[in-house]
Amino acid sequence: MPKSKSPAQKISSGIPRALIFSPHPDDECIIGALPLRLLRESKWRIVNIAVTLGSKRERQPARLRELQNACNFLGFDLIATAFEKVNLETRMKNPAQWRWAVKTVSEILAEQKPRAIFLPNKEDVHPAHIGTHFLVLDALKRLPGKFDCLIVETEFWGQMENANLLVESKADDVADLVAALSFHAGEIKRNPYHARLPGWMLDNVRRGAELIGGRGGAAPDFVFGTIYRLQKWRGGKLQQLPGGGFLSAKQNPAKLFC
């Protein structure tokens, strides 16, 4: 399926932008706490890249409509690449298909010139999440060596042991993420995970207090939070960063990307 761009996709060099590489429609909402804050508080442009529209072809047109509605609600732009079988098996056994996907993603990166990229961590359990991780990294390797940006790894199915950032969300933002997830009607019909998102974000604070703040350290006074891992892409490779620690709702999230 060809790329589908929202009408607002004119590139402006004066506005920082972040790209979310979402393995499925709905991932943009689940891990969208920091992108939403960048949009609302720092006036960044957020572009969701729909890597797939799910594995059920009969559902893909409906999922695209649901995704567009969710992105419109949050204020995210949308590019739907709608690849098929984005996983390590395709990477190993179907190199022609994989090269085409990598080339497409590298062209998007070159065009968009993002300051930050959100993508699943390489141990996020679901094959499409892991495949998306390697798809984006392979695409980055095709770009000129001078290309650099921040890499923000996300988690949902598989937790990161070496995460380095816990981001607070206000209750209003959480409510809007839940509302955006509700547009993915076909998915929440089989599993009402939109209703469970606040509970997941509550538990992120419990876990992040020790994982990121250090064992025995003082916990942040957050209610809702999302865990990420910050790294830097520079010189054609990933570079480790010390991370942002705790980012409260009182802090401008753009400070992470200075």
- Positive or negative, the Cα torsion across 60, 61, 63, 67? positive
Question: Does residue 212 or residue 11 have the better pLDDT?
Answer: 212
Q: Are 23 and 132 in contact (CB under 8 A)?
A: yes
Q: What is the pTM of this model?
A: 0.92
Average pLDDT over residues 75-88: 94
Q: Is the pLDDT of residue 215 over 60?
A: yes
Residue-wise pLDDT for 112-151, tens only, equals 999 999 999 999 999 999 999 999 999 999 999 899 999 9
Provide the mean pLDDT of the chain. Answer: 91
* Alpha carbon distances (Å) from 193 to 155, 201, 245: 15, 12, 27
Q: What is the pLDDT of residue 1?
A: 32
Least confident of 189-193, 206-210, 212-216: 212-216
pLDDT of res. 9: 46
